Amino acid sequence: MHEYAVTQSLLKLVVDEAKRVEASKVLEIRLVIGDLSTIVDDSVQMYFDIMSEGTIAQGAKLVFRRVKAEFKCRECGEVFIKPTTGFDCPKCGGLGMPTGVGKEFYIESLEIE
């Protein structure tokens, strides 16, 4: 449910920036979302469609780019993409710890007119 607040902030940032540069319309918003952020693309899209009605961002296309979660093994130091289940290192079987890659949530770019 945190997608509501996140989308509200996203829309405000986008509209404020578009107005700052005197754009008449926001056409596309490119978002980067890490797999560990727990943000659900479909929820952001749904809230955005509702919240953007009547703004210069109404009808803008949201483009989502997902970043895979990266882990580092505590035993051997191997850096790897988190497996579907568990946190085990594919090299030695040790416990992997998050590196910080995969927690992203930011606006990569805007297309405006």
Q: What are 33-90's pLDDT values in tens digits?
A: 999 998 999 999 999 999 999 999 999 999 999 999 999 999 999 999 999 899 999 9
Task: Tell me the C-alpha distance between 35 and 29, whole Å.
Answer: 19
Tell me the mean pLDDT in the region 89-107. Answer: 96
Asked if residue 83 belongs to a domain, the reply is no
Look up the CATH number of the domain holding residue 46: 3.30.2320.50
Asked if residue 91 belongs to a domain, the reply is no
- pTM > 0.75: yes or no: yes
Q: Which residues are annotated as a binding site for Zn(2+)?
A: 73, 76, 89, 92
Q: Which residues are annotated as a binding site for Ni(2+)?
A: 2
Q: Which residues are annotated as a binding site?
A: 2, 73, 76, 89, 92
Residue 14: exposure state from Cβ atoms within 10 A (0-12, 13-18, ≥19): buried
2 falls in which pLDDT band (50, 70, 90)?
A: confident
Residue 54 belongs to what domain range?
Answer: 3-68+101-112
Residue 28, token pair as written in the block? 């596309």
113 falls in which pLDDT band (50, 70, 90)?
A: very high
Task: Tell me the C-alpha distance between 36 and 103, whole Å.
Answer: 5
Cα within 13 Å of Cα(31), Cβ side: 25
Asked if residue 84 belongs to a domain, the reply is no
Asked if residue 28 belongs to a domain, the reply is yes
* Buried/exposed 43-71: b ≥16 CB within 10 Å, e otherwise: ebeebbeebbeebbbeebebeeeebebbb
Task: Tell me the C-alpha distance between 90 and 80, whole Å.
Answer: 8
Give how many domains the chain has, as a whole number. Answer: 1
Asked if residue 10 belongs to a domain, the reply is yes
Asked if residue 82 belongs to a domain, the reply is no
Asked if residue 23 belongs to a domain, the reply is yes
1 falls in which pLDDT band (50, 70, 90)?
A: low
Asked if residue 75 belongs to a domain, the reply is no
